[in-house]
Structure 1
Amino acid sequence: MTRSILKHFLAPLAAVSFALAGCGGHNDAATSPKNSPEQITRGRYLAQAADCAACHTAQNGAPFAGGVKLESQFGTFYGTNITPDPKHGIGTWSADDLYGALHDGVAPKHKLYPAMPYTSYRQMSREDSDAIYAYLMAQKPAPAPNVAADLKFPYNVRFAVRFWDMLFLKDALPDASSGQSADWTRGRYLANALGHCAECHTPRGAFGQMQDAKTLQGGELGRIGAPDITPAALAARGWTGADLQAFFATGFAKQGSAFGEMHPVVYLSTQHLSENDSRALATYLLGDAPPKPAPLVAAKVDDPTQLAAGRSLYLDSCAGCHGFDGQGKPHVAVAMDGNSTLRQADPRNLIVSMLDGIEAQRFPGLENMQHMPGFAGTYTDEQIAQLANYLRATWGGQPADISADKVKSLR
C-alpha cells in the first residue's frame, strides 16, 4: 500500500522520497532494548501488519534489502535496504533512530519526506516500534547498495518538508466510523497506525496532505484507485464484517478478489493478521453499529436494447471465465454478479481493468486467479463503454451512463 503514496503524495512543499532513504548513520546517545525471542516474534507480526515488505522487498530480492522500483511524476524511486547491514542498511541505527523515523520522519542523517507514511506511523506505540526494530535487527544483513532516487528539482529539496510538517503533521487521524468497543479501538490502531489505510484511501490536498474531512473516501493511486471504504460506501457495495474478514484473510469475498495495489496488501500483510485483529479491523471500518448492506437491484434501463451490444460482447469475450450468468468460476475468475467493482459509483477501476487486464495472481493457501487479458487493442472506446454499461447495469445496480469519451480519457 505504501508504494502507491509516491504516485500522488507531493506538491510544492511536499516533494517525494522514500521511507528510510539514505540508511546509515548512528545516534551515539541512543539506547537499544534487549531483543528477546518473544519480542522478535512479535516484531515480525507487527512488521507484517505494517506492510513493510511491500516497499522494502523487491521481487526475487533478499527480504527487506530494498530495490523496489517506484515510478512517479516526480522521478524514479527505489525502496531502500532496511536489513541490519552496517553499510547499506540500518545496521548502525538504534531503536531510538527507528522510532524517530516512524514517529517524526527523521532519520539519523536527514529529514524524511512524507512519502514515508510517518503521518500514520506517528500513532504507533514505542513498544511496537521497538519490537519491529528487534525483528529487523534479527534479519540476515544484505549487502545490497541503495539506488539513489532520480528526482527533479524542486522535489529533491528536503528542507521544505519541515514546513510541511508544521502545517500538516498531526498526532492522530480522524475516524470515518464511530465506536467505543475494544474491537473498534484495536481496529482503529490497526487501520490508522500500522496498516496506514488512510494514506491510500483518503484524497489529497494541493500540498499532498490527507484531506481530513474526507478520510477514507477514496484516493487516486495511478491506474487503479483506492475505493471509498467509509461505512456507508462499504454497505452500499454489499460488504459485511464477515465479508471483510474473509477478504483480509484470503483476498476473496463474494464481492470479488483483491487486485491492483490491494493484492500485495493482502498477500504480504492482512492475511497474517490474527482472527481477533482481522475482526477488529473490520469492526473499525464499519463501526460498532454497522449499516445494513444494501441489496443488489439491477438498474432500470429505459430501453433494454441499449444493453444488447454489451451483452453480446460479454458472451463473446467474458462469459467463458466469468460465467454465462456472471457467477464466475472457482480458481479461474471472480463472479460479476454483485461484484464490488461493478457496484462502485465511479467506473474508473472497471474501465481500467478492462483496458489493461489483470495479471495472474497468487493468493493465500493454494488459491490462484488466472490472467485476465486487456481489451485496449481489441475493442473500440464505444465497445468498451457498451460492455461496461452492461456489466454495471446488470450486476452492479449502477446506471448505464459510461460514454466512449470516458473510456478514451482512461486509455
Structure 2
Amino acid sequence: MTRRCSNQTAMLRALRDITLAVGTAALVACGGGHDDSAARAASAPWVAPASAASGPASPQSTATDQLARGRYLVKAADCAACHTTEDGAPFAGGVKLASPFGTFYGTNITPDKEHGIGKWSAADFYKALHDGVAPDGQLYPAMPYTSYRQLSRADTDAMYAWLMTQKPAAVANREAELSFPFSLRFAVRFWDMLFLKDTLPDASKGTSADWNRGRYLANALGHCAECHTPRGQFGQLVNAQPLAGDALGRVSAPDITPHGLVARGWTAADLQTFFATGIAPQGSAFSEMYEVVHLSSQYLSRDDLRAMATYLLGDEPIASVPLQSASVNASVDGDASADAAQLAAGRNLYLGVCAGCHGRDGEGKPHVAVPMSGNSTLRQNNPHNLIVTMLDGVVAQDFPGHERMQDMPGFGAQLSDAELAQLGNYLRATLGGQPADITPQAVKALR
C-alpha cells in the first residue's frame, strides 16, 4: 500500500491499495460484459432440490429454493472472509483490513436493524454490490463491488433473502481509521467515474456452457481479478493483463492465465482438486488462498469446480509444461564451478533444515509436508512468495477431508540473507526448474 501524499495522484494511488485490501480475501478472474440475461444464463446450472410434487412450484417451495440458492451464493462469493471474525458471530463484521495509511473493518451484514442491514431492501443490497453505494453512503472499494457488479439481480436477491434469515447480531460497526485525505469518501466517486467497469478481457478462450458458467463464478462471485489482475497507476484493473498476477503486499498473487498455470504444471483436474481440498500435486494453499478454500471454494459443486477450471484454462487447454530441473552441477550464470558451489551449499542447507519434513529429495511426507518437486511456488518466475515462506514459515493447516499439514517454522532468525538465497536457489533450480537468481539483497528487502 502507498504512503500518504498531499497530491491528488497519491490519493488515487491510495484508493488503488484500498481495492487491493479486499483482494487478499479471495480467488480468480474477470470476463465479459455486464448483460443481466447473460449473467442469469451463466448462473442457471444451479439446481434446487427436486420437489416430490408435480406441477407449478408453490410459493413456499420457491422461497425455499431461493434460500438454498442464496446460501450457496454467499459461500461462493466468500462473504465470510471479510464479514466474520475468527471468534465472532457469523457475518457480524469486524475483520481487520490493515494498510499503512489506515485500517478498514468488515461491516455487519446480519439482519440487525441498528448495526446490520436489517433496514435494507433487496434493491439496496443490489445497489451496494452493483454500484458500491449503500443507503448510508459511498462504499470504499475494499468491498469488491468492482467484481460483484457482474452479479445478476436474481442472485443478489437470493443472497439478500438468505442473509435476512440469519441471526441478527447487535455488533456495532467500527469506523475505518484513515488519515486525511483518505478519510474523504466522496473521492471514491471520482475513481468510480473513471474506472468502474463491468468487464475485463478474458485470459482464456471458450464458448462452452462450462466456460461461461466458470466465467460467472470466477469474475462475479469469486472476484479473483481483485487479487490476480495487475493494477494501473490509479488502481484500475489493467485490461491488457487479466489474471497475470499482482503483488498483494507480503505475498504475491500468481499468474493464473492459461499460460501461467500450465507453466507451473497445472491441469484442469488438479485445479478442481485444489479448489475442493486445498491440496494438489503442485502443493497446498497458504496465506489468503487457504482462506478462500476454507471459507468458499470447498463448498462449490463438482459441476462448478469443473466450470471454474474450464474457464481458467479455456475450452482447449494448453498442455502443461513438464518440470525441467537442474542438477547440483548445472550452470546458472555461466560460471559452472561457482554455480555448483552455490547449489551444493543450498543442498546442505536443505538437508539441515528442510529434509526432515519435506524428504531428502523433496518427496514430502503425508499429513506432514507437501512434496517440493514441482511445487507451484518454486515454479513461479518471481521468487517473492518462496522468499516470504522461507522467512515467515507457514502455520499448521487443516484441509477439507480431514487432511492436515504441520506448521513450517520460518528461518528468518536462523539463516542469514546469503544462506536463504542459497537455499532458495537450490529449491528453484533443482525442484522448480527456475533460474537460481535469488540474491541476498532480495531476501533482505523482504525481511
Please classify the TM superposition score into its range, dividing by the shorter chain length: over 0.9
Distance in 2 (alpha carbons) for counterparts of 1:230 and 1:116 = 24
Corresponding residue to 1:236 among 263, 266, 269: 263
Once the two structures are superposed, residues 172-223 of structure 1 have per-residue CA deviations (whole angstroms, 9 ceiling, x without a partner) of 2221111101100000000000000100001111111111111101111121
Seen in structure 2, the aligned counterparts of structure 1 residues 121 and 11 have a Cα distance that, compared at 3 Å, is: farther
Secondary structure of the equivalent of 1:77? strand
In the alignment, which residue of structure 1 is the partner of 2:302? 275
Structure 1 residues without counterparts, runs of 5 or longer: 5-9, 20-32
CA contact (8 A) 1:191 1:197 kept: yes
Tell me the SS of whatever aligns to 2:98: strand
Is 1:322 matched up with 2:322?
Answer: no
CA distance in 1, matches of 2:139, 2:212: 29
Counterpart selection for 2:108 from 81, 92, 116: 81
Quote how far apart the aligned CAs of 1:248 are.
Answer: 0.3
Corresponding residue of 1:12: 11
Q: How does 1:200-279 map to 2 (within 5 A)?
A: 200-279=227-306
Tell me, yes or no, if the aligned pair for 1:11 and 1:208 is still in contact at 8 Å: no
Match of residue 391 from structure 1: 427
Moved beyond 3 Å, runs of 4+:
13-19
Letter in 2 for 1:124: L
CA–CA distance in structure 2, aligned partners of residues 181 and 112 of structure 1: 35
Bigger drift between 71-80 and 189-198 goes to: 71-80
Calculate the TM-score normalised by the size of structure 2: 0.85
Which whole-Å CA distance do the structure 1 matches of 2:355 and 2:121 have between them? 56
1:252 and 1:365 map into 2 onto residues whose CA distance is: 10
- Find out whether 1:291 has 2:315 as its counterpart: no
Q: Does 1:139 align with 2:166?
A: yes
Q: CA deviation at 1:11?
A: 5.2
Please give the alpha-carbon distance, in whole angstroms, between the structure 2 residues aligned to 1:38 and 1:46.
Answer: 12
The aligned counterpart of 1:346 is: 382
Shift of 1:74: 2.4
Total equivalences in the alignment: 390
Q: Partners of 2:94 and 2:80 in 1: how far apart?
A: 11
The DSSP-based 3-state class of the residue aligned with 2:103 is: strand
CA distance in structure 1 between the partners assigned to 2:368 and 2:391 by the alignment: 19
SS of alignment partner, residue 247 of structure 2:
coil
Alpha-carbon separation, structure 2, partners of 1:185 and 1:143: 40
Residues 128-175 of structure 1, C-alpha deviations (whole Å, 9 max, x = no match):
000000110010001111111100111111112111111111122221
> Among 45, 63, 86, which residue is 1:36 paired with?
63
Match status 1:117 vs 2:144:
yes
- Cα distance in 2 for partners of 1:11, 1:156 equals 14
- Taking the aligned partners of 2:413 and 2:271, their CA distance within structure 1 comes to 35
Q: Which ranges in structure 2 are unaligned for 5 or more consecutive residues?
A: 2-8, 23-58
Name the amino acid aligned to 2:78. D
Tell me which residue corresponds to 1:22. none
Computed over aligned residues only, the root mean square deviation of the Cα atoms, in angstroms, reads: 1.7
Percent identity of paired positions between Structure 1 and Structure 2: 68
* Structure 2 residue 401 is matched with structure 1 residue 365: yes
> Partner of 1:341: helix, strand, or coil?
coil
Output the CA distance in 2 between the equivalents of 1:364 and 1:272: 10
Distance in 2, matches of 1:117 and 1:174, equals 18
In the alignment, the residues of structure 2 paired with residue 202 and residue 291 of structure 1 have an alpha-carbon distance, to the nearest angstrom, of 21
* Counterparts of 1:113 and 1:173, CA distance in 2: 20
Aligned to 2:36: none
Asked if the contact 1:120/1:173 (under 8 Å) is kept, the reply is no
The partner residue of 1:378 within 414, 428, 432 is 414
Please give the alpha-carbon distance, in whole angstroms, between the structure 2 residues aligned to 1:223 and 1:171.
29
Take 2:120 and 2:10, find their aligned partners in 1: how far apart are those partners? 30
- Counterpart Cα distance in 1 of 2:273 and 2:401: 13
